[in-house]
Chains A and B, each alone.
Chain A
Amino acid sequence: MDFATVIQILDSAVRLMTPLLLACLAGLYSERAGVFDIGLEGKMLMAAFTSASVAYATGNAWLGLLAGIGGAVAMAGLHGLASISFRGNQLISGVAINFLASGLTVLLGQKIFGLGGRTPSLSGAARFGEITLPFADTLRPVPVIGPIYAELISGHTILVYVAFAMVPLTWWVLYRTRFGLRLRAVGENPASVDTAGVSVTRLRYGAVMICGVLCGIAGAYLATGISAGFVKEMTAGRGFIALAALIFAKWRPWSALFATFLFGLMEAVANRFPNLDLGIITVPSMFMNALPYILTVIILAGFVGRAIPPRAGGEPYVKER
């Protein structure tokens, strides 16, 4: 395997990890605030559909992005209503949201476009184009650094850079702002936050809405960045891989970057080498595809460092009367 192939695989890994990273950070906000979210998949799917539809109708990828965020935030609102206001089971609500998105996107897509659930393919300004960073072409001939800069770092859509920028931003919000401190506190011990006179409900809604916005960007990237339009079930389990990455990262932003890169890399390798020949044994692509899930189970089992979720996660908060 030569250097150019390595760069290509890494480049593909960066593209594939972007939706995972955004969804993973989305889940991080929600779960750190004590609201479990297994509906990342559904929110992303809904966002992919609304963004592709609006991008097609207006020919503008930015309006598509806004619509994507709108679609995911609507779903997040439903999750908030069920799990915060009505103190329902957060897991069941997440399951319902996944199905709702899966059904509604096809139903509405068929009604609007009549293509069996797809949207027409997008082109031109309806998609996010690849950005060439300054000096990419001048630096290309430089050995090693040239290809890394020109191929790997440059030449992605704006949303990829947004996703990467979200990592330090999330770290800063979570660990260096008052909002972040309260958000983490509400996920560990909501009663103490309540005692301090801060509204648990408002904080949790805030976290769930941020989760919606990030899922919206992730879905928009899937439909208008990495591909050209919406296809039925196009998230294909990415929401669950993001969830796995979140656990893998133990609910921390920088680790989330590492975990999603690892999972993106696995997908990239599985795409590039359907049957990976390691000399002694041949690893089938099915194994590579299942590897993120297997790793998560191992992490969850606590054999490789323990993953401890936020303590109040999954429990609706009932104010003492």
Chain B
Amino acid sequence: MERMPKWADVILTPLISLALAFGISALVILAIGESPVEALKVMVQGALGSSYGWGFTLYYTTNFVFTGLAVMVAYHAGLFNIGGEGQAALGGLGVALVVLALPWPHWALALPAAAMGAALFGALWALVPAWLQARRGSHIVITTIMFNFIAAALLNYVLVNLLRPVGSMDPASARFPAAVHLPKLSDMALGLGIEWGRNTPANVTFFVAVAACVLVWLLIWHTRLGYEIRAFGKSEPAALYAGISPVRITVLAMLISGALAGLMAINNVMGEAERLMLNAVEGAGFIGIAVALMGRNHPLGVLLAALLFGFLYQGGGELALWTSIPRELIVVIQALVILFTGALDNMVRMPLERLFTALRRKGA
């Protein structure tokens, strides 16, 4: 018997968790002597109050959609991919290598190739932990954490010793040629005769992210592989009994997950920085965990949660600019969202289940 109606499970519990996370965040703001209402106003105004704000919000959203989808796909296979950070960093390396290798005549040609490079490098970085989990039984959480650090060291080495242009001091690759600069959403709007979001980094990758949501939805719920991934994630012995190979599913799910995390690089490396820099991912890989948890591991949920975190990220930047609240408030909110929607899920769920059971008994 279902303990709770579906709508309560899908909508009510995440909303209550979110309310708890925001409530405590408000208390934190009060504790440091600021007004939560004022802070919210600054954030809404800064992130959503102008097309300029939206331009940044959508840029961050794009990053978080990719990393959120990455965590989500692995989660369906019962794997916790905490290595989005490293996979996205390697994705950046893939983008830089592809873009700098050939004299691309047009961005429309370079984008698919760069996306392939990003996905390939991200996937390869997830392959080793996946294979180790599947074949050698080493815990994927630990190996992916280790791979985040190894990725940071590797990227540091590559940027300082190999990709850095002669005579340059900062550890970054050469600038990408103008021909491969991705069109910004503001340029596209201007093409339609609309003045929107000048000087903002949101770019065409946003549409790639939305398309990725649709594709992941199709993959998980409408393909044979998706069925196998979900079956394996629900029960490994049952999947094995049904003839599903654990090694194959673990490796495939992690390859897809790593590829999605890697794809983030076409937004931040190709679309925004237009060169590969150190620490380009800026924690987006970890925010993917919060996004996937918040979005209940559904692409639509991931998209909405990514938008929420895009808003928080841009709003947090504005807070640091206009008030004395540091940017790190966002990290606290992110932690609370992960805590309440992820680890303390049962705290919200158990009383709700009791409530619905009691209601049903009364009705019967």
Residues of A participating in the B interface, judged by any CB pair closer than 8 Å: 38, 78, 81-83, 86-93, 95-100, 102-104, 106-108, 110-111, 116-117, 237, 240, 243-244, 247, 284, 286-287, 289-290, 293-294, 296-297, 300-302, 307, 309
Contacts and interface: CB of A to CB of B under 8 A. Distances in A.
Contact of A104 (B150, B332, B342, B347): B332
Contact of A103 (B31, B329, B342): B329
Contacts of A90: 343
A107 B332 contact: yes
B273 to A, nearest CB: 21
B321 interface: no
A111 B332 contact: no
28 contacts: A38-B145, A86-B343, A89-B80, A92-B289, A93-B344, A95-B289, A95-B342, A96-B342, A96-B343, A99-B332, A100-B335, A103-B331, A103-B332, A104-B28, A111-B32, A117-B326, A117-B328, A240-B149, A243-B145, A244-B146, A247-B142, A289-B153, A294-B150, A297-B138, A297-B146, A300-B132, A300-B136, A302-B138
Nearest to B333: A103
B154 A286 contact: yes
Chain B: interface secondary structure?
Answer: helix
A284 B343 contact: no
Contacts, number: 152
Contacts of B28: 104, 107
B286 interface: yes
Given A107-B325, A301-B138, 19 more contacts: A86-B350, A88-B343, A88-B345, A89-B342, A92-B338, A93-B342, A93-B344, A96-B343, A102-B335, A103-B330, A103-B334, A104-B28, A110-B328, A111-B32, A240-B146, A296-B142, A297-B128, A300-B143, A301-B132
Contact of B328 (A38, A107, A287, A290): A107
Contact of A297 (B143, B325, B332, B338): B143
Interface residues of B, number: 51
A290 B347 contact: no
Contacts of B139: 300, 309
Nearest to B328: A106
B254 to A, nearest CB: 15
B168 interface: no
Contact of B344 (A82, A243, A296): A82
B346 interface: yes
A293 B339 contact: no
A87 B150 CA distance: 32
Nearest to B132: A301
Nearest to A296: B146
Interface string B41-65: 0000000000000000000000000
B132 A297 contact: yes
B147 A297 contact: yes
A302 B137 contact: yes
Interface string B323-364: 011101111111110110011111100100000000000000
Contact of A93 (B137, B152, B332, B343): B343
B157 interface: yes
B136 A301 contact: yes
B88 interface: no
Contact of A284 (B132, B161, B289, B345): B161
Interface string B75-102: 0000010100000000000000000000
